Structures are given as C-alpha cells and as structure tokens.
Amino acid sequence: MKIAAVQMLSTPRVEDNLAKARALIGQAAAAGAELVALPEYFCLMGRRETDKLDIAEQPGDGPIQRMLADTAREYGVWLAGGTLPMRIEGRSDRVNNTQLVFAPDGNVAARYDKIHLFRFNDGERRHDETATLVAGSEPVAFKLTDRSGQDWRVGLSICYDLRFPELYRALTQPPCDLLLVPAAFTYPTGEAHWELLLRARAVENQCMVLAPAQGGAHENGRRTWGHAMAVGPWGEVIAVREEEGAGVVLAEFDAQRLAEVRTALPALEHRVL
C-alpha cells in the first residue's frame, strides 16, 4: 500500500489552508496513495494562541470537517486530517487538539485528542499549549482495510506525544503496523530530535512511522522544522522532504518487510514489563 505524508506551511487564513491541503491530498492520491496524512494545525497557524478558539468546530459540523470528509470521498482515500480545534461542551476558553481520520466513504473512522501538551521556553521562544488546550486521555488505534483487502492496525499520536514512548507501548496491544505522528515541531527541537525520535519509535515498536509536518517560516513569526518523513520498522528513513514549504512524501507500506523484521528479532514477544 502506498502512503503519503503531507508537509505544509500553514497561514492564519483557514480558507487558504484548506485549499492548499486539498490540492496536496489530490497530488498524493494521483500518485497512488491510499492513505494521506496532514500535519498538525494544517488548518490554521494563528497569529495568537487564542485564534484557534475562534475557528473551533463541534464534532461532525464545520467547514474544516466538511472539507476533510468531502476530499476523502472524492479521492477514495483514507485521510488522517492532521489536527483541528474541537469544541468542548461547556468550555469557551479551551478546546481539544483533535486528529480525525476519515474513511474513503467520507465517514469518521477514528478520533484522537492530543494527550501530551507542549510547553517550551528557551529564553527567546515561548510556547504553552495548556493556555488554550485541554489534554485528551485515551490512546486510539483503528483498523484500515486497503484496496487489496489487507487489514492494518494504525496508531494515532500528535507531535509532542512523540517524546513519550509509554503512549506507543499502550498502542501495541496488539502491535500497530503503522504509527501516525502529525506535527508542527519548532525549528530548534526538530533539528535536534525529530528524526531521532521518529526512528526510535519505529525501532522499539517494530512498525512503520508516517510523520507529516509543518515546515518553514510562518506568517505569525514561528519557524517549524518540517522534514515530513516515513520510517521503516528497522529504523531506516524511507523518504523525507528536505526542503521547507509544502510538498508530499510518498512511501510503500510493505507487509513483507514488517513480517521479516518481527520474525528475525521478535522483540515485541520478548517484552516482560
């Protein structure tokens, strides 16, 4: 199965971001991708942290969700919709950072609310997601059936989750075949740790990792690391976008390679704790 990680340079304008995402999904589908994954905050990189509150949607309703559902249906792909702000009943000051997965028929196949919320302060840059977000609490995986009829178990995570291996261990009961990590890594943290952590999660869980990303200098002054990437179960980087800006990274999801790694070194069976 061919899979695609989308890299974007999202703006403070939702309509522009949706149009760009739709075009990139179409590009990936035209190249044969059956699963297309968008990055974190694909729909908005606001000028203020609170901007996400203004565009937050109710579950099942809103222009962002309609675009994702319609585009998945139009191209007949599984579409992992990066993240969008989702309203919380009874709260106007906080939202969930939510990843929705749409099946090829346009229906929602899975929802995951980001569990680990990012805080960073190096003296020059400061970022605190707890100011506008409420953390999720439940790990989520779903079954994807490809066009050949093969089933795959896909685990969901978002950006800062990548630093917490216990989340991915929770997703390995039973083991996942693929982990999705849509992200908007800051430039300094991404330069130091992005590839390192993605490869570690692939190795220790003996699965593929697909990591769509934000990449470049945004209008709000933030710079994200990019390097949208696909990593194989031996920790090998299969494909990566080296340039900043929008683009698509394609990779083959190989069941035989997955089986070979797990047979040669059955580490998942050797777990004690």
Closest CA to 231 of 196, 183, 266: 196
Q: One of 114, 129, 207, 244 is an active-site residue; which one?
A: 114
Read off the tokens for 10.
């999202």
Closest CA to 224 of 4, 39, 21, 27: 39
For the question of residue 166 being annotated catalytic, the response is: no
For the question of residue 143 being annotated catalytic, the response is: no
Residue 85, preceding bond cis, omega within 30 degrees? no
Would you put residue 128 in left (φ > 0), alpha (ψ -120 to 50) or beta? Answer: beta
Q: Determine the distance from the C-alpha atom of residue 103 to the mean position of all C-alpha atoms in its chain, rounded to a whole number.
A: 16
For the question of residue 252 being annotated catalytic, the response is: no
Q: 178 near 203, Cβ under 8 Å? A: no
Q: One of 20, 57, 159, 176 is an active-site residue; which one?
A: 159
Closest CA to 35 of 158, 116, 142, 174: 142
Cα–Cα distance, 247 to 232 (Å, whole number): 20
List alpha helices for the chain, DSSP H: 14-30, 51-55, 63-75, 165-170, 187-205, 255-264
**Catalytic residue numbers?**
40, 114, 159
